[in-house]
A and B are shown apart, each in its own frame.
Chain A
Amino acid sequence: MSNLYQELGGQAAVDAAVELFYRKVLVDDRISHFFDGVDMDHQIAKQKAFLTMAFGGPHNYSGLDMRKGHAHLVERGLNDTHFDAVVENLGATLTELGVSQELINQVAAIAESTRADVLSR
């Protein structure tokens, strides 16, 4: 799994994916309301950080970072269905970019590993 980042294409892959992914979440009525009222430039930088982590790239996120960063969204009702929608959009983004299902599964597994922290369990 340490090679996943390189296999996906590294930073260039993150750059290619981030706007595609962001457009998908912005039009997904299941989750788009969580992105309202936030500065888009700031938001996309955070999404780039998230994708870097999900792609197995370098990051310094801890479980505590995830809990703190999403606590205000959990208060607004963030739950499993929303987390599922994000992972689904992430998968759709990578499919659109021609990534193999095997690699997509690895990315999804990494994203999945943050569920408990993101949802404050």
Chain B
Amino acid sequence: MPTISYKDHSFSLEANETVLDCLLREGQSVSYSCRTGVCQSCLMKAAQGTPSAEAQAGLRDTLKLQGYFMACKWKPADNVTVCGAEDLTFQATLVGKELLSETVLKVLLQSNSPFSYQSGQYLTLIRPDGLARSYSIASLPRESMIELHVRIIPNGQMSSWLLDEAQPGTPLTFRGPFGTCFYLPDRPEQPLLLVGTGTGLAPLYGIARDALTQNHKGPIWLFHGALTGKGLYLVNQLRELAARFPQFQYQPTLLHEDEQLEYPVLTGSLDTIVMSQFPQLKSMRAFLCGDPDIVNRLRKKFFLAGLSLRDIYADAFVPSSPT
């Protein structure tokens, strides 16, 4: 009789029983709704064991890759370990930090144990006192350190602490990885459109480099939007990347004119600029990160322009509520 390991407990599965039914029968608190594998409310993650195709039917490819499944549809035949998305925790050390611009701090972490992630996903960083904030991962999985881009918020508890007080060697905790916004190598010729605002560039920087590292051949366009020139960062690195890889194109955009810049930018609303550059979107895959209003507006516009939601990956950065 197979068992389910969940939150340090072990439960025996009854004959023909789903993961959801077993956990509910054992009094565990898990969310669910339709129980027919459609609404995805009962989404969980398999840490050990391979979910059935039925349990993953309709899920995004990036969720399937991470072992997510619908608990109402998986009847494991062998022992499995499952968890909710919020359950994985890691110990880490702050290794370094560097200002990338007036408003963006690069933070480098070293995890104390192997941390498996995809560029573009995010983690929740937890200070020793328990304060938590989420940041996208800009590094590649093959790199030894995890790279985060932290927007410095005046009076922001985490960003001010990271900027002013945290030093190399400071121990930290993080949970993750989370998110479905990352590159898949299944269609190497597919055009990729990456659009971000502010530190929405962090996941896009990771995704672009990940795609290029995996020999993506189709064109990759990266649009980074900011209010003024001061909001742009990694400009030189991205221009170098564009010089090295003919299939990669980088386009910074500004909402307001800025005559001090030494490189070409487009001026105007980011969503208007992107839509005017790409009259034809079908067959593309889009990654949208950053300001929620712009991310949601573009996602809707892309969808209405004919792009399938399956090919639109969005990560809206919702700010933490003041506490």
Contacts and interface: CB of A to CB of B under 8 A. Distances in A.
Contact of B309 (A19, A46, A52, A65): A19
Interface string B26-43: 000000011110111000
Interface stretch (B77-85, B273-281, B299-307): B299-307
Contact of A23 (B35, B57, B303): B303
A44 B309 contact: yes
Nearest to A57: B36
Interface string A1-42: 000000000010001000100110011000000000000110
Chain A contact residues: over half helix, strand or loop, or mixed? helix
A65 B36 CA distance: 14
Contact of B303 (A15, A26, A46, A59): A26
Contacts of A41: 60, 309, 314
Contacts of A63: none
B38 A52 contact: yes
A6 to B, nearest CB: 16
A45 B39 contact: yes
Contacts of A27: 304
Nearest to A43: B309
Contact of B36 (A26, A44, A52): A52
A40 B299 contact: yes
Kindly name the residue among A40, A45, A48, A52 whose own CB sees the greatest number of chain B CB atoms within 10 A.
A45
Q: Sorted from nearest, which 8 A-B pairs have the closest CB atoms?
A: A49-B38, A58-B36, A60-B35, A49-B39, A45-B40, A49-B34, A60-B34, A48-B38
